[in-house]
Homo-oligomer: A and B are copies of this chain.
Amino acid sequence: MSTASPLATLETPAALVDLARLQHNIAHMQQRLTALGVALRPHIKTSKCAPVVAAQIAAGARGVTVSTLKEAAQCFATGITDITYAVGIAPAKLAQVLALRRQGCALKILTDNSTSARAIAEFGRAQGEAFEVLIEIDTDGHRSGIPPESDELLAVGRALHEGGQVLTGVLTHAGASYQCSTPEALAAIAEQERALCVRAAQRLREAGLPCPVVSVGSTPTALSARQLDGVTEVRAGVYVFMDLVMCNVGVCSTNDVALSVLATVIGHQLDKGWVLVDAGWMAMSRDRGTQAQAHDYGYGQVCDAAGRMLPGWTMSGANQEHGILSNEAATAAGTLGDLTTQFPVGTLLRLLPNHACATAAQFDHYHALGADGSATVWPRWNHW
């Protein structure tokens, strides 16, 4: 990073997005899913940021997935109408969904139980609205959803269809893929996600119910599926920034991680081999997703201001606005050198996050760094 770097003018901590890596990640996922013959409906809960979503759409994404109704409203405000809210609907939120639909937003909702399905149908009939509804399928036991072979699947389908709503399809998310770390395990969980979701669609169709959409996905499975027969769309989110958890899962390298936190050295504890920075867990988030993985990066991997990895250096401890950087191996080997010359007070460093969704959420804007040295402020849509 030259002395003309815009980084020196930023207040730290700051969230940085490397535009070249972002564009690479977007293009890579789009090309892969186009080759597999399915649509990509990115989950925008990772970036919550209009220019990032616009880049995904420009690259070929068809519609978006959201985790909050605020994200839905903000995407709709940018002109996107094809939106799936992929959290089981709380009936009290139907009025908000209706308001967005009445404005022209083709907002699709999700349920995994008859109680909610009946509430949707009842509210829809009372309001003269046919909601577009997906049924959530449980393909790995990690969270919500209906088992594909259950009676409840058909009961929910009938409650919606016979209740005058639009049974749009089935949706699953194999979150268990985050626990995998070999190509074989990833391919297996991707195939399980595909096969069980397609099976759920088949059962609905055999029962005479419509099921045009078969929606699967997570970043690990999207990048590991060998075929996606019967699937119509894939949802993936974190691929847009990538992170250290995804490095450990094995679907990217640290050179793909587009999000980092800029921090400033504020002191040292020389006897302990510690460098103190002005970014703690408030900036990095409390996410310790790599703790149980093969490589534990603490609260993040340390890079220099230009983004070059400093091998062995991690944020090993964090308070609210303090981070402790250390190099355990070099400390143990006695090869640490003089930290006050290697990392003088005032040094700018970048920290790669464990979990991009969590770290990004600690900021209300990004600084998008272009290859030309430019830095552009990109706001986020936080909260609910």
Contacts and interface: CB of A to CB of B under 8 A. Distances in A.
Interface in A94-126: 96, 111-113, 115-116, 119
Interface residues of A, number: 62
A277 to B, nearest CB: 9
A19 interface: no
Interface in A242-259: none
A368 B219 CA distance: 39
Given A88-B267, A89-B266, A345-B91, A68 B384 contact: no
Given A116-B345, A281-B358, A345-B119, A90 B266 contact: yes
A317 to B, nearest CB: 8
Contacts of A322: 87-88, 143-144
A60 interface: no
A267 B116 contact: yes
A296 interface: no
Contacts of A143: 276, 317, 319, 322, 324
A364 B383 contact: yes
A232 interface: no
A384 B68 CA distance: 24
Max chain B Cβ within 10 angstroms of own Cβ: one of A11, A175, A320: A320
Interface string A280-295: 0110011110000000
B286 A358 contact: yes
Given A287-B286, A319-B143, A382-B364, A266 B116 contact: yes
Interface in A221-239: none
B286 A321 contact: no
A112 B286 contact: no
Interface in A67-99: 67-68, 87-93, 96
Contacts of A285: 285-286
A350 interface: no
Nearest to A178: B319
A266 to B, nearest CB: 4
B113 A345 contact: yes
A6 interface: no
Nearest to A324: B143
A220 to B, nearest CB: 14
A34 interface: no
A56 B270 CA distance: 38
B115 A340 contact: yes
A117 to B, nearest CB: 10
Nearest to A278: B90
A91 B23 CA distance: 35
Given A14-B384, A115-B344, A143-B324, 11 more contacts: A11-B93, A88-B266, A88-B267, A90-B278, A90-B345, A143-B317, A143-B319, A281-B287, A281-B358, A286-B286, A363-B383
27 contacts: A11-B93, A12-B92, A12-B384, A67-B282, A68-B321, A87-B266, A90-B264, A90-B265, A90-B345, A91-B346, A111-B267, A113-B345, A115-B340, A116-B345, A119-B345, A138-B269, A143-B276, A143-B317, A144-B267, A144-B322, A282-B361, A285-B286, A286-B286, A286-B355, A288-B288, A361-B362, A363-B383
